[in-house]
Amino acid sequence: MADPLVLLPGLMCDARAFGPQLAELGQVVPVTIAPLGQGERMEEIASGLIPQLPRRFALAGHGMGGAVAMEILRRAPERVARLALIATSPLPDTPSQATDRDTRIVGARAGRLAQVLAEHHGQSRLAHGPFRAEIAALMEEMALSLGPDTYVRQNRAMQRRRDQQATMRRCAVPTLVLCGAEDPLYPVKRQEFLAELIPGATLKVLAGAGHMPMLEQADATSDALRDWLGLPYVLR
């Protein structure tokens, strides 16, 4: 039997972001979707999750969840059997990105979370497709259900995250880097850079997807994760 699968959603997302994969892959392996609402540092979030996870597991993270996945790998490499990074980056925020987060945090704290989401987390992150509006509405619903306090904590954690390039260079497990061809946040060139850091990593670029390939190209994402779960182990 394959290792249990742990899925880490992106910023202001919950289990619904991985709904299609939960339905598909849950028939093959035990699946856990871990919340990322606690802690204002990646180290704090990761250390809180590790004791709750299986002894050894396959780990997949999207966006912020990918950043947490890298921190889990850094802290407990013996626990991670394989790694999938979806639309994420090993690099810390630039000063400009950190400043932009501060502006959005102020808006969320002032009771304007819905406005902040509409301006920075909506359809502009998605590829053009027949279900673009529906996916954007689900993203908004997830974010509003998590609320402004979670928005502030998660953005603080993203602001303070460390550079994980060295962690990725030491990665010694089967690794998938998955992204949408039309992701404006983490373009393909950045995903190529991430994949080149990791020995033996596989890069999969999905046409017709932006920042939410799990929903925009659900079947292709599930297929890519299923193939990754079937890769042979890498000897440490």
**Are residues 78 and 15 located together in one domain of the fold?**
yes
SS (H, E, C) 182-214: CCCCCCHHHHHHHHHHCCCCEEEEECCCCCCHH
**Are residues 66 and 172 located together in one domain of the fold?**
yes
pLDDT at 70: 98
pLDDT at 165: 98
pLDDT at 235: 46
In the chain, how many domains are there? 2
Helix intervals (H) in 14-92: 19-25, 42-49, 64-75
Centroid of chain to Cα 227? 18
**Are residues 62 and 138 located together in one domain of the fold?**
no
Q: Three-state DSSP class for 182?
A: coil
CATH of the domain at 188: 3.40.50.1820
Domain boundary residue among 138, 156, 174?
A: 156
Per-residue pLDDT of the chain in tens (236 residues, 90 and over written 9): 578 999 999 999 999 999 999 999 999 999 999 999 788 999 999 999 999 999 999 999 999 999 999 999 999 999 999 999 999 999 999 999 999 999 999 999 999 999 999 988 888 999 999 999 999 999 999 999 999 999 999 999 999 999 999 999 999 999 999 999 999 999 999 999 999 999 999 999 999 999 999 999 999 999 999 999 998 885 44
Residue at 73 is within a domain: yes
**Are residues 144 and 189 located together in one domain of the fold?**
no
Contact predicate 61/85, CB 8 Å:
yes
Owner of token pair 């990754």: 228
Domain boundary residue among 108, 127, 156?
A: 156
Q: Three-state DSSP class for 31?
A: strand
The domain in which residue 215 lies consists of 5-92+162-229
Neighbour-count burial of 163, counting CB atoms closer than 10 A to its CB (0-12 exposed, 13-18 middle, 19+ buried): exposed
> What distances in angstroms separate CA 33 from CA 56, 70, 122, one per listed residue?
15, 16, 23
Other Cβ atoms less than 10 A from the Cβ of 150: the count is 20
pLDDT at 41: 96
Contact predicate 82/231, CB 8 Å:
yes
Q: Three-state DSSP class for 7?
A: strand
CA angle 110, 112, 118 (to 5 degrees): 150
Owner of token pair 């994969």: 21
Nearest by Cα to 75 from 98, 41, 40: 41
Contact predicate 7/29, CB 8 Å:
no
| Whole-angstrom distance, CA of residue 157 vs CA of residue 18 | 22
Would you give the end-to-end CA distance of the chain in angstroms? 21
Nearest by Cα to 146 from 3, 4, 38, 67: 38
Residue at 235 is within a domain: no
